[in-house]
Structure 1
Amino acid sequence: MGGAQSSSLASAFGCHVENQKMSKKLDEDFYGGFDDYEHAYDIQVASQMGLRAPSSYGQAPPTSFGAAVGNQSSYGRSRAGGRTAAGMRNEPARPMTAVRAAGYTSFANKVQASEAVKASETKSDTGEEKCKEMEQKVTDLLKGSMLAAEQRNYKEALDKAKDAGRRERAVVKYREQHSMVESMNLDLTFTVLFNLAQQYQNSDMLNEALNTYEIIVKNKMFPNSGRLKVNIGNIHFKRKEYNKAIKYYRMALDQVPSIQKETRIKILNNIGIAFVKMGNYDDALSTFDHCVEEKADFKNALNLVVASFCVQDVEKMREAYQKLLDIPLDDDDDHKTSQEKEDVLMIQVLNSDSLKLWERMKRSEAERAIMTATKLISPVIATDSTAGYEWCLETIKQSVHASLATELEMTKAGEMLKDGDIEQAVEVLKVFNSQDTKTASAAANNLCMIRLLEGGPKLAESQKYAEQALSMDRYNANALVNQGNIAYMTGELEKAQHCYREALNSEASCVQAMYNMGLVHRAQGNVEQALECFYKLHNILLNNVQVLCQLAGIYESLEDSAQAIELYSQANSLVPYDPSILNKLAAIFDAEGDKTQAFQCHYDSYRYYPSNMKVIEWMGAYYIETQFSEKAVNYFEKASIMQPNEIKWQLMMASSHRRAGNYQKALELYRNIHRKFPQNIDCLKFLVRITTDLGMPEAKEYVEKLEKAEKVRQLRMQRESDSSQGKRHSANSTHSLPVPQTGDRPNSLNSVRMHSASILAADAQPFSVSQRDMRSADYSYADPLGPSIPRPKTGGKRTQKDDSFDDLDDSMLPQ
């Protein structure tokens, strides 16, 4: 620093002396010495201007780098080197010590500062680009999560949402480490957290979803995050915590400004539904009423009708129903000109337009709401449902939805059929003959179906209505199916098959026609075609129980037990409570000899339908066969309760007690059976056997009763055999009553009797008593449960073996 300062002072002093000399010369001669200057001092200017150095110094011309080649002074070499370095570094040359101060200049400081700024900007640009790349990966994961959730693949959506959350936190950490917090993307952070909460909710991880929503709501950096309290309320609603749900709904409602009416109405609708779930119908009614007053739509109006129905207030129901009908439906079809309606191409284009599809969806929602409200309130707003439907019909006809009156009348006929008022429903359907073609065809088809179900003499009338429906609409597939059903019931299978084929040609998706065609093929014995029809139907109606049972029945008839069991098992997995399918499976397993599976299927069938006598008998026989007679008693007892006049079940029950060793109970049951059926010989045989085994004095009485019963039975059998022989003898006899003539017709019945008696007496044989075979009473009996298993003879005498040692081997003797 000292050297630099001394150089600067010296150079400054030198400049001052030269200025004094110049001033003296100018004072002496104004124009003298104008060109007198030392050219060596002007080398800086020469170098800056690119001029050639003066030749008086004996220097060579400079090269392309501005440096002189040859004999140069130390000053020239330093200047040349300085110029070269300055050209390369874009810096000014180092000045001479005698002319200018040595050291760094302000220009060099500016260059260094600009380079430092450029380096920092380059570094910041590189960090920002890396952050943007990381954020783009987070965005891609978010898109994948949302698409997976839309496809209902919630596991994949949750995994991607979690991965997006981890990557987003990595971006935030990177920004904090590199001091780039001011450019943090808060929208991305909010989206990641919100999507994660949504995927938790879709995966039924409600606690995690609540925690995530709480993180979003409590963060003040997210604007309008308080509205997410609606989602928190929905989670509590799903948990059936309705008080908490209403609390969060109201907190979210406070966050929504009054100008956003649609959002506020949706939140109020949620509050009303929560009140309905709690049973607080009055508050729900007031809430829905406020929603309809603010902005009426069909959902809120339907909720108002439902709340009024829950309160059971007729006036409120009628008022809410009228408010529902007062809601207009935006439909531009009525405002089209005749020219637009005749333009077929325009109509086809507009019908496939997305806006047109949206309008159809809205119209179907409105029609569904009106029809649902009508079905709900019509039975309670009047003395009966018919009067209620009449009031609803009149109200609809006076509203903007008058086109729904026809459909409502059809619904009215259906409700009458449910109530069993068939004739009144038929009268309502007959009114539609004066309507347009399609409505009249549908009404005639319904009449055809009603008469078809009645069957018998009503089939002719059903055929008439089917023809009437087809005359109005030749391609009515339902009418063709009904006509085929009539032909099937009358045995005309070919005609039925033709009708079903025509129905399929008119409407390829008519599953009723395909199902009935399979039945026709099966009735005709065309098993392959029947299987083809039912397999086609199985591909259309996947996992339909009736189709599976038909396929299983066909394979069962073909004795393909494995395929039949598989199909019946599929049907049983769809409807495990159907006892008939279980019976089919049990029968196949029993035929295959698999008693365990058969027992399980019979047991399940008995649990779902305990009144099937065949199942009860099989279960009782199974327990008897497996020697669990005490369990068989329960089944036979239930059978005897269901059929009290059938002695078989009571005898089986008593026999089960006897096999189980409960003789006293068996004796008591046999006595009750004998009192109810005193002439039953099997019961008397069992009584004789038990009383004899127990040594009871009643045995003699039962023996006498058994002998009398045996005699009575023998006499009855002899009388029946004699009567049958007499019938055969009279049929083969040549004697017959003469045909009376017109002149000698008997005057009375006595004359006829006397005439026939005289004819019979002519050929009569002498009377004699025939010797009948009166054998002794047979006391043997047959157990209705079959012969019992013989007990082992443990007390029998054993045969004595010879204890001689004659045949004993000597090798066996001890040494």
Structure 2
Amino acid sequence: VCLVYRGGGGSGGGGFGGGGFDDDDDDVSRVVADDGLKEELRRRHNYITKIVVQSAQLISEKIDRQGGFEAGYAWCIEQLRSGGYVKLANEVELAKASKYMAVKEFDKANAIFKEFEKKEPRIKARAATNLSFLYFLESEVGQAEKYSEMALKADRYNARAYVNKGNVLMEKGDVEGARTLYNEAAGIDPYCVEAIFNLGLASIRLQELSYALAAFKKLHNMLPDNVEVIHHIANIYDLMGDFNATVRWLEHLSSLVPNDPNVLARLGALHQRFDEEAKALHYYQESHRVFPVNMDVISWLGAHYVKNELYEKAMPYFDLASKIQPQEVKWSLMVASCYRRIGNYPLAMMKYKKIHSSHADNLECLRYLVHLATELGRRAEAQEYVNKLKKAEKAQALQVDALQTAAVAAQQQQQQQQAAAAAAAAAAQAQQQQQQQQQQQQQQ
């Protein structure tokens, strides 16, 4: 690895040689009586395997820049096989398949995993586990279930295989069965993150919030800075109705992702729910600063300032909303209303006129145009808007009448259809009774 990063290129320092570790080391533990020694050998075996695989992953993209990681992995695998390290070569090949999955080349990953189906049980179990996961990602639930069962048959202590089978059951709607399998996986491997995470999700689905909280808190101890885990803990406390704990965990989450507008808005909504207006305002303002086009946040800020009669501060938010949603006339009307409430009638008049030019039949706009023109002493203009208002009100009344008439007609038609259906059913029943009576008379 060092040679490659120092510019050794594809030479790799002559391949993987020596080191006193080979495939026969697995067999040594079978004849060693001392359990402590067996455990030490197993630990060393796992450590060396991990280092070799990580080394291959590091240098795979450096060895052959033209061929990419595929050529790099191929070189590493060939070096290991030629040196007699077949099992290590298999591990590196599995890592290559995982790389294919990471870059979404699922067909190539699938081909590698299928090759491992023909190999020894341990490798076969790992390949089947990965195949199950791969098929699940592609929504082929039947195949995912088949390979998860194959993996468990080859190795009943395979925690990830239990997770895969649990995912299949979850997809089928058997949440309780899935949770049982996640529990089994966590029992086999107490550090299996996928098992504990999914156990928490399944418990939420089952409304067993205390179990879900325990699962995610265990994960938090393992992964203290994982934002998704912290987010779930905050959600669970919210579902439990524990306001203080929810805020505490969301604030912790916000310290890790300080520019996440959704977390900030969530904190604002929580404080608003419990009438902590000042804190709600702070978090909504911070959320708006980070992401200024969230309509829920804009609407809340504008409404907050209107409620507190700070119309000058409300106007920029409503104006921004009118630009984001130009088809929604209510935002422009709110801007005009703010001008009107602070007594700036000329600007309010200009704004209402602009609204009228694009929404000629809007009654609220016309009513305020009449009112403002009257206040400003523009009688002729006021009369013009009065005429337009009467015309718009008449048109709206006709439209309402037409809709009501159509609704009544539709209701009458539905009633007629129901009556006709009932009459037809009664006639059919009468005919059936008549036929039964005729049959009885013939029998007599």
> TM-score range with shorter-chain normalisation?
0.7 to 0.9
| Structure 1 position 334 matched with structure 2 position 26 | no
SS at match of 2:117: helix
2:362 alignment partner in structure 1 = 680
Deviation at 1:499, TM superposition (A): 0.8
CA distance in 2, matches of 1:498, 1:677: 60
2:440 matched residue in structure 1: none
Cα-to-partner distance string for 1:615-661 (whole Å, 9 max, x where unaligned): 12111112222333233233223333333322233322333344345
1:175-194 aligned within 5 A: none
Question: 1:653 is matched with which residue?
Answer: 335
Instruction: Give the aligned residue type for 2:59.
Output: A
Percent of residue pairs identical: 31
What is the rounded CA distance, in whole Å, between the counterparts of 1:303 and 1:412 in structure 2? 24
Whether the 8 Å CA contact 2:77–2:93 is kept in 1: the answer is no
C-alpha deviation, 1:701, in angstroms: 3.3
Q: Distance in 1 between matches of 2:333 and 2:26?
A: 86
The equivalent of 2:126 in structure 1 is 442
Amino acid at match of 1:683: C
User: Runs of 5+ in structure 1 lacking a partner?
Assistant: 1-297, 305-319, 383-387, 740-815
8 Å CA contact 1:545–1:574 kept in 2: the answer is yes
Counterpart of 1:368 in structure 2: which amino acid?
Answer: Q
- Say yes or no: does 1:587 pair with 2:290: no
Question: Which residue pairs with 1:714 in the alignment?
Answer: 397
Kept in 2, the 8 Å contact 1:329–1:363? The answer is: no
- Rounded to whole Å, the distance in 1 between the matches of 2:216 and 2:356 is 55
Structure 2 vs 1, CA of residues 442 and 400 (structure 1 numbering), >3 Å: closer, same or farther?
closer
Partner Cα distance (1:714, 1:471) in 2:
74
Distance 1:433 1:337 in 2: 23
Whole-angstrom distance in 2 between the partners of 1:395 and 1:509 = 33
- CA distance in structure 2 between the partners assigned to 1:664 and 1:406 by the alignment: 80
User: Secondary structure of 1:441's partner?
Assistant: helix
Residue segments in structure 2 that go unaligned for 5+ positions in a row: 425-444
Aligned runs of 1:354-753 on 2, under 5 Å? 357=44, 364-365=50-51, 367-376=53-62, 380-382=65-67, 388-400=68-80, 406-455=90-139, 458-542=140-224, 544-696=226-378, 697-733=380-416, 734=419
Relative to structure 1, is the Cα distance of residues 728 and 434 closer, same or farther in structure 2, using a 3 angstrom cutoff?
same
| Local SS of the residue matching 2:202 | helix
User: What aligned pairs does 1:55-74 form with structure 2 within 5 A after superposition?
Assistant: none
Residues in 1 aligned to 2:302 and 2:63: alpha-carbon distance in whole angstroms: 52
What CA deviation, in whole Å up to 9, does each residue of 1:670-694 have, x standing for no partner?
A: 3333333333323333333333333
Q: TM-score, normalised by structure 1?
A: 0.46
Inter-CA distance 641–468: structure 2 relative to 1 (3 Å threshold):
farther
Deviation at 1:424, TM superposition (A): 4.9
**CA distance in 1: counterparts of 2:290 and 2:142, whole angstroms:** 40
Q: 1:301 aligned to 2:4?
A: yes
Give the alignment of 1:139-154 within 5 angstroms.
none
What value does the CA root-mean-square deviation take over the aligned residues?
3.6
The CA deviation at 1:477 is 1.1
Task: Normalising by structure 2, report the TM-score.
Answer: 0.79
Q: Following the alignment from structure 1 to structure 2, what is the Cα–Cα distance between the partners of residues 628 and 603?
A: 15
Q: How many residues are matched?
A: 417
Aligned counterparts of 1:530 and 1:689: Cα–Cα separation in 2: 60
> What secondary structure does 1:352 align onto?
helix
Bigger proportion of residues as helix: 2
Question: Are the aligned partners of 2:4 and 2:10 in contact in 1 as well (CA < 8 Å)?
Answer: no
CA distance in 1, matches of 2:69, 2:189: 33
TM-aligned CA distance change 1:435 to 1:337, over 3 Å: closer
Query: Is 2:53–2:92's contact at 8 Å kept on the other side of the alignment?
Result: no
In structure 1, distance between residues paired with 2:287 and 2:53: 43
Displacement after TM superposition at 1:668 (Å): 3.7
Inter-partner Cα distance in structure 2 for 1:610 and 1:722 = 45
Q: 1:653 to 1:377 in 2, by over 3 A?
A: farther
Letter in 1 for 2:338: S
Distance 1:633 1:454, change over 3 A: farther
Q: State the alpha-carbon separation in 2 of the partners of residues 700 and 629 from structure 1.
A: 29
Per-residue deviation, 1:721: 1.1
The answer on whether the counterparts of 2:176 and 2:206 sit within 8 Å (CA) in structure 1 is no
Q: Give the deviation of 1:346 after TM superposition.
A: 7.0
Q: Deviations over 1:270-304 (max 9, x none)?
A: xxxxxxxxxxxxxxxxxxxxxxxxxxxx3243232
Contact 2:60 2:71 in 1 (8 A): no
- The letter of the residue matching 1:467 is E
Inter-partner Cα distance in structure 2 for 1:407 and 1:726: 74
Give the Cα separation in 1 of the matches to 2:63 and 2:396: 69
8 Å Cα contact 2:136-2:168 kept in structure 1: yes
Contact 1:521 1:530 in 2 (8 A): yes
Which protein, 1 or 2, shows the higher relative CO under an 8 Å CA cutoff with sep ≥ 6? Answer: 2
Inter-CA distance 347–397: structure 2 relative to 1 (3 Å threshold): farther
What do the CA deviations read for 1:590-634 (whole angstroms, capped 9, x no partner)? 122111111111122223333322112111112222333233233
Report the secondary structure of 1:614's partner residue. helix
For residue 157 of structure 2, give the secondary structure of its aligned residue in structure 1: coil
Cα distance change of structure 1 residues 683 and 705 upon mapping to structure 2, 3 Å threshold: same
Which digits, 9 at most, give the CA deviation of each residue in 1:374-415, with x for residues without a partner?
A: 13566x514xxxxx3443344334424665654554444444
Would you say the 8 A contact 1:393–1:405 is kept in 2? no
Task: Give the distance between the partners of 2:340 and 2:148, measured in 1 at CA.
Answer: 64
Code of the residue aligned with 1:642 in structure 2: it is I
Q: Give the number of the structure whose alpha-carbon radius of gyration is greater.
A: 1
CA contact (8 A) 2:148 2:164 kept: yes
